[in-house]
Amino acid sequence: MGPEYCKGGLDTNEKFHFILCEFLLTCINQNWKIPIAYYFIKGINAEEKKNLLLNCISAVHQYNIKVVAVTFDGLKTNFRMACLLGANFNINSFQTWFHLPNTSDKIFIFLDPSHLIKIIRNVFEKKGMMNAMDNIISWQYIKELHLLQEQEGLHIANKLRSIHVNFFKQKMKVRLAAQTLSKSVTDAMQFCNTLKLPQFEGCDATIYFIHIMYAKLNECFKYICNLKESRHGKLLINSPKKAGFLGFCISIKSLMGLYDMLCEEPNSSLQYIIQINNIALYCDKNSQIITRFSRSIVSYIAGFVVHFLTKKINCTQCVEALTELQPNFDHHDLISIKNKGGLLYPSKDVIFICEICEKCIRLAIMESNSPVLPPKYNVHFFLTKILSYFIENHTIFSKLNKHTLEQIGIDNHIIHLIRAIATKI
C-alpha cells in the first residue's frame, strides 16, 4: 500500500492536489501482482488507514486468498496504523504482526526496504551516529573515499561518484542510496585503511555499519537496536529519526516470523526464504526439489553432456574428472538401464552442476510464470547465476585442485569446465 500524489482537474485553470491511496495484492508463491483498491483523498489519518486496510484484507479473504503480510513505507501515520491494528514496536515487547478480526491468522508487517535505505542514508549523511562501543560512524569517510578516487583518477571497484555524495537533488533515487551503502564501498574503505591513509583513520566503525546491512538477520537486528545519536544520546530506534532503523528491525523480525509460519509448518508449500541484502524472496518447494526421478533424468542428460565434452577437451586430467568408471546406483540407475555399452557415467561433480542448472531453470520459469522463458533468461543470464554459485564452492572438482595450480587465474580449468557444462546443458 502507498500514496501517489496527483494534481489537475477537468478545467485546465483549476488546480487542486489530492492523494491516491493504492492497495496492491502481490503473490508470494507465484509471479503476479494486481491493484485491488484505490482511494482519492486529501488527507488520511492512522485510524482511517487502518479501516481501509482491514476492508481490503477482508474482501480478498472472501475469495480464499490468504494475506500473510502487509508492506508500506516509513510514514509516521503508517507506524501509528500498525499499532492500532495490534502491533507493538516497543523494543522490549516487540510484536510485528496483527490478527485480522475474527481469525487467528497472523499478518506480518514489513516496511519498504527501498524507502528505508534512503532514510538511513539521509540520517547517515546529515547527523552521523555512534555504535554501542561509542565509536563514531561518519559520512566523512564516504566523502574522503570519493575525493581520493577523483584525485587519483581511478576507482577501487565501486560505483561511488559525485552524484552519490551530493545526492540532495536526487534523493528519491534508490539506486544512489544502495550503491553508497554497498559492500564494494566498504571493501574500498577497508583497502584504504590497510594502506594507513590518514584520512581513513578510525573508519572501522563506519565500515562495519555498512557491512551489517548484508549480515545475518539476528546480527543485523542486535546491531541496529544499539545504534545511538551520540555518546549520551537516544537510541536511534527511539529518536525522531527512527523510521529507517526501526523499520529494518520490524522487517527483520517479521521475516523470521513469516519463515516459521510459511516454511516450518506442516504441509507447507514453501521450502525456504532467500534473503538478498535483507530483501526476501519466497521459493516454492516444487520449483526447488530435485526428486529421485528428476535426479535420474538429470544424470542421464549429464551423460550426454560429458559425451560431448570429452570429444572437445584436450586436457586428460579434466576429461578424467568428468566421468566415473563404475556406475553409482544412487546417480546412474537410469543410465545403467539404458546402457548397451556406449554410454558414459558422469561424475558426481558433473551431476551436481547439472542439478544446479535445472534448479535455476525451474526458478526462472516460476519467476516468469510462463513455460516459455522471456528473452532476458538467456545463456548469459544462467551462466552468471551458476558461476556465481560455484565461485565460493571450493569442493567442486576437488581432484583437480593440484592441477589448477599449474594454471594462471584466467585459465582456471575448473571454471572452464563449469562454464562448458552449464552452456551445453
Q: What is the pLDDT of residue 365?
A: 79
Are 360 and 367 in contact, with CB atoms under 8 Å apart? no
- Work out the number of other CB atoms within 10 angstroms of the CB of residue 123: 21
Q: What is the mean pLDDT of the chain?
A: 84
Domain ranges (residues) in the chain: 2-111, 114-248, 292-424
Contacts of 294 (CB under 8 A, 6+ apart): 358
Per the model's pLDDT, the better-predicted residue between 393 and 61 turns out to be 61
Q: What angle do CA 155, 158, 160 make, to 5 degrees?
A: 85
Percent residues over pLDDT 90 in the chain:
38
Q: What is the mean pLDDT of residues 52-77?
A: 91
What one-character DSSP code corresponds to residue 228? B
Q: What is the 3-state secondary structure (H, E, C) of 94-120?
A: CECEEECCCCCCEEEEEECHHHHHHHH
Round to whole Å and give the CA distance between 387 and 394: 12
Dihedral sign for Cα 364, 366, 367, 373, please.
Answer: positive
Using pLDDT thresholds of 50, 70 and 90, give the confidence band for residue 410: low
Name the grid cell of 31: 509471479
Q: What is the pLDDT of residue 276?
A: 43
pLDDT of 344 > 50? The answer is: yes
Name the grid cell of 343: 554410454
Q: What is the mean pLDDT of residues 274-300?
A: 61
Distances (CA, A) of 150 to 153, 161, 177, 201, 253: 5, 8, 20, 19, 41
pLDDT of 277 > 50? The answer is: no
pLDDT of 278 > 50? The answer is: no
Q: Is the pTM of this model over 0.85?
A: no
Phi-psi region of 128 (alpha: psi -120 to 50; beta: other; left: phi over 0): left
Q: What is the pLDDT of residue 392?
A: 61
Name the grid cell of 257: 516470523
Helix (H) or strand (E) holding 383: helix 379-390
Per the model's pLDDT, the better-predicted residue between 130 and 340 turns out to be 130
Q: What is the pLDDT of residue 398?
A: 80
Using pLDDT thresholds of 50, 70 and 90, give the confidence band for residue 404: confident
Percent residues over pLDDT 70 in the chain:
87
- Rounded to whole angstroms, the maximal C-alpha distance in the chain is 85
Round to whole Å and give the CA distance between 130 and 105: 39
Contacts of 51 (CB under 8 A, 6+ apart): none
- Give residue-wise pLDDT tens across range 117-172: 999 999 999 988 999 999 999 999 999 999 999 988 888 888 999 999 999 999 99
Question: Which residues are registered as beta bridge partners of 70?
Answer: 109
* Buried/exposed 348-378: b ≥16 CB within 10 Å, e otherwise: ebbbbbbbbbbbbbbbbbbeeeeeeeeeebe
Dihedral sign for Cα 101, 106, 107, 109, please.
Answer: positive
Q: What angle do CA 96, 102, 103 make, to 5 degrees?
A: 55
Parallel, antiparallel or unpaired: strands 17-26 and 33-41: antiparallel
